[in-house]
Chains A and B, each alone.
Chain A
Amino acid sequence: AQSVAQPEDQVNVAEGNPLTVKCTYSVSGNPYLFWYVQYPNRGLQFLLKYITGDNLVKGSYGFEAEFNKSQTSFHLKKPSALVSDSALYFCAVREPSGNTGKLIFGQGTTLQVKP
């Protein structure tokens, strides 16, 4: 069965420092991987995805993620954090075939960026 793990409930980082939010997955075959962000009282917003190709994927708001097949990881990164990046982040995985877009989400990681 496919699954996603976000091992950290919360990540704290100082403004201007690099940030990493971790994600590991378990899925048969080659996965489709996604990152979403959720701000208070809002729905999840799509940040970026990996389908195939370059292992480093760039997305919205300066975020990027690196797909590592051997470690089954898809960590979210940003070189310089902003206070406004503070939010709840979700990693998600979808099998590339056999279903109709259903995603399996991780439990979420709260990112706190302090001034």
Chain B
Amino acid sequence: DAGVIQSPRHEVTEMGQEVTLRCKPISGHNSLFWYRQTMMRGLELLIYFNNNVPIDDSGMPEDRFSAKMPNASFSTLKIQPSEPRDSAVYFCASSLDRGGQPQHFGDGTRLSIL
């Protein structure tokens, strides 16, 4: 079975540029989560969706960050404009919200803002 698919795996761009990260959740999963991981702050939940609807975006650092889920098989996380402090590994995870099912993580996008 295909797991959670994230693209790109690596992104290097200059400060001020727009960055778009993409995620394809596991088919049939109805919850989707975006995380950010850094050495300093560890693993942080940015936003999560249930049935394509944003439920909690309190972890989104500021207005430069936005996330969408136009359908059950695709989500994007956008940073505009990007800043060097946004450099991190961004993970997408999905789960089936039933009976304590675990989240399944993609392998992440390593983002470097120069």
Give me the interface of A with B, judged by CB distance under 8 Å. 32, 34, 36, 41-46, 49, 51, 90, 94, 96, 99-103, 105, 107-108
Indicate if the CB atoms of B100 and A108 lie closer than 8 Å. no
Bits for B35-59, please: 1 = Cβ < 8 Å to A, else 0: 0000000110100101000011000
Q: Which of B55-114 contact A (CB under 8 A)?
A: 55-56, 91, 93, 95, 97, 99-108, 110
A32-B100, A94-B100, A96-B100 known; A102+B48 contact, CB < 8 A = yes
Indicate if the CB atoms of A100 and B97 lie closer than 8 Å. yes
Given contacts A46-B103, A49-B100, 16 further A-B contacts (CB under 8 A): A34-B102, A36-B105, A41-B107, A43-B93, A45-B105, A46-B102, A51-B100, A96-B100, A99-B55, A100-B31, A101-B95, A101-B101, A102-B48, A102-B56, A105-B42, A108-B43
Q: How large is the interface on B (under 10, 10 to 19, 20 to 34, 35 or more residues)?
A: 20 to 34
CA distance A46 to B43 in the complex (A): 15
CA distance A49 to B104 in the complex (A): 13
Chain B: which residue is nearest A102 at the CB level?
B48
Chain A: which residue is nearest B43 at the CB level?
A105
Indicate if the CB atoms of A51 and B103 lie closer than 8 Å. no
A93 to chain B, nearest CB (A): 11
Give me the interface of B with A, judged by CB distance under 8 Å. 4, 31, 33, 42-43, 45, 48, 50, 55-56, 91, 93, 95, 97, 99-108, 110
CA distance A36 to B102 in the complex (A): 10
**Which residues of A have CB within 8 Å of B42?**
105, 107-108
CA distance A1 to B24 in the complex (A): 31
**Which residues of A have CB within 8 Å of B91?**
43-44
Most buried by A among B56, B101, B102: B102
A41-B107, A107-B42 known; A100+B48 contact, CB < 8 A = yes
Query: Could you name 17 residue pairs across A and B whose Cβ atoms are closer than 8 Å?
Result: A32-B100, A34-B102, A41-B107, A42-B108, A43-B91, A44-B43, A44-B103, A44-B105, A46-B104, A49-B100, A51-B99, A94-B100, A96-B100, A100-B48, A100-B50, A102-B48, A107-B42
